[in-house]
Amino acid sequence: MSQVQQDLGTTFNFAQYVMTVNKERSDKTAFIDDDGFITYGGLAEKIAQFGTSLLKSGIKREERVLLLMHDCNDWPVTFLGSMYSGIVPVAVNTLLTAQDYAYMLAHSRAQVAVISSALIPVLIESINIAEQEHGHEILEVIVSHPTIESRRMFLDAKPDIEWIEMEDFLNEAGTIVPPAKTHPDDPGFWLYSSGSTGRPKGALHTHANPYWTAELYGKAVLNLQESDICFSAAKMFFAYGLGNALSFPLTVGASVVLMAERATPTACFKRFTELKPTVFFGAPTGYGGMLASPELPSKDQVSLRMCSSAGEALPQDLGDRWTRHFGCQIIDGLGSTEMLHIFISNSPNDVRYGTSGKPVRGYEVELRGEDGQLVPIGEIGDLFVKGPSSAVMYWNNRTKSRETFQGAWTKSGDKYVSDQDGYYTYSGRNDDMIKVSGIYVSPFEVEGTLVQHPAVLETAVIGVADEAGLVKTKAFVVLKPGHQTTIEELQLFVKDKLAPYKYPRMIEFVNELPKTATGKIQRFKLREQEQSKK
């Protein structure tokens, strides 16, 4: 019997669990979006209605529903309503192309798409591609916040597919069916990886997985409380955002601020000052942009008691400056889509900026060398993690599943180094590591040094072969508005702080860096760009 079975028994439905733990909070606000709020009682009612209506529309248990929506109150209704009935929501990034969505529709075999009306044009295109190139058709489209224009556009383009507005779909439920008697290890939902190195991979997570991340991280590390108001810049389609804005707050009865628009500094500051969140979840790029903004509010204008960071390692300088300004710490950690949330983290009483912290209780980590053996303390190794929130597999991708999910261990794809005190420091992704003169150089270490320069907003470092074919480090640097510096000054700045061989031999000033929709720097695009010059 697995540990999950010992703790949760043989029947566990995550949606039902959320509804049960908040039964006495029916009048409390659960979510606040751009148009209004929904209470815990209203949320529970709509979850049951949505799940019931899915079953009555002919969708069967464990079939998939594509969730292509901006963050709003209908998002948790759709996600948890699907899980309520044993149907599997597939939450996807709202910033992808029609080709991406066509692949995801066909790959997941989704029968229904739930969509924000603003995304109708790209959905129409993706449905056409899915039909023509993949031979996959969907039966129904459920629309959140529909407009007359979006309805007319869809019905003109796809008259053979049923269109229904969210409120009408909920009202069709009639007699509510009981929640599905799912097992803790039953398929709960899918999340797709970024697909930065090929087709996106569909990570299959169970009903128990969000419970474990909430217990082991949301409660045990962050100590979220019922009195908190949570606000996540990371959207809910992202594993990090799903924990921040759904599983963590809903398991303690906290309230959540949802924002449909992009998390610009201006948009975040508006929520900081008007809705007064107490806990903010962001990423290093976002924190850097906010600190550089002339609109940065004062400490007295906000109610932040704690912040969180993930997605990429948080540079020490950013953490120090944020804490000095707002008087609250940023709890930086490492997580992944495959592990659902953070498994190495700093903690509120133990923050060491520049590191990812220590393993979260309930998880084990190992650093292994190229020979598969554990590396000594102080040496860079491949990070492996073992814990109860690991995905089961990548759907229909046995090769990648075997590479990543190795028995009880998951290969993260990250390079890390540990110190004598048990702290783990990020050294880059496996594909990002640079070997200079036979010695590994972590691009993140060089980047973390460069951003300490007062003129540097953000930077990315890659390895580039010189005329002799030898690999050297090259930095792409974005300067802060109104600031100037020189290549020579930046090189001397790095030499003064790091071992001489690590300084960037080449520096190029750029207006912006290529990034994923979740704000991660895409160093592989910079490498491709350099390769195309040859």
Report the alpha-carbon distance of residue 365 to residue 314 in Å, rounded: 20
Instruction: Say how far residue 504 (Cα) sits from the centre of its chain.
Output: 30
In this prediction, residue 437 carries a pLDDT of 57
Report the alpha-carbon distance of residue 3 to residue 423 in Å, rounded: 27
The secondary element (H helix, E strand) that includes residue 307 is strand 306-309
In this prediction, residue 1 carries a pLDDT of 31
Task: Enter the pTM of the model.
Answer: 0.84
Q: What angle do CA 374, 444, 450 make, to 5 degrees?
A: 150
pLDDT in tens, 189-215: 999 986 544 578 999 999 999 999 999
- Indicate the angle between helix axes 487-495 and 443-450, nearest 10 degrees: 110
Nearest in space to 451 (alpha carbons), one of 528, 529, 354, 367:
354
Report whether 59 contacts 84 (CB < 8 A): no
Buried b (16+ CB within 10 A) or exposed e, 305-329: bbbbbbbbbbbbbbbebbeeebebb
Tokens of 79: 């996600």
Report the alpha-carbon distance of residue 347 to residue 332 in Å, rounded: 8
Q: Give the mean pLDDT per block of 10 residues along the chain (534 residues).
A: 58 98 98 97 98 97 97 98 98 90 96 97 96 95 95 95 97 97 98 70 97 97 98 95 98 98 96 98 90 96 97 86 97 95 96 95 96 94 97 96 96 93 87 67 86 94 76 92 94 86 91 80 86 76
Beta bridge partner(s), residue 307: 280, 330
In this prediction, residue 2 carries a pLDDT of 40
pLDDT in tens, 223-250: 999 999 999 999 999 999 999 999 999 9
Tokens of 160: 């053979």
Q: Three-class SS of residue 512?
A: coil
In this prediction, residue 194 carries a pLDDT of 65
Give the contacts of 437 (CB within 8 A, at least 6 positions apart): 470, 501
pLDDT in tens, 70-79: 999 999 999 9
In this prediction, residue 5 carries a pLDDT of 40
Q: Could you tell me where the DSSP H helices lie in 159-247?
A: 166-171, 208-213, 239-242
Q: What is the DSSP string of 515-534?
A: B-TTS-B-HHHHHHHHHHT-
Instruction: Output the CA torsion sign for 19, 25, 30, 36.
Output: positive
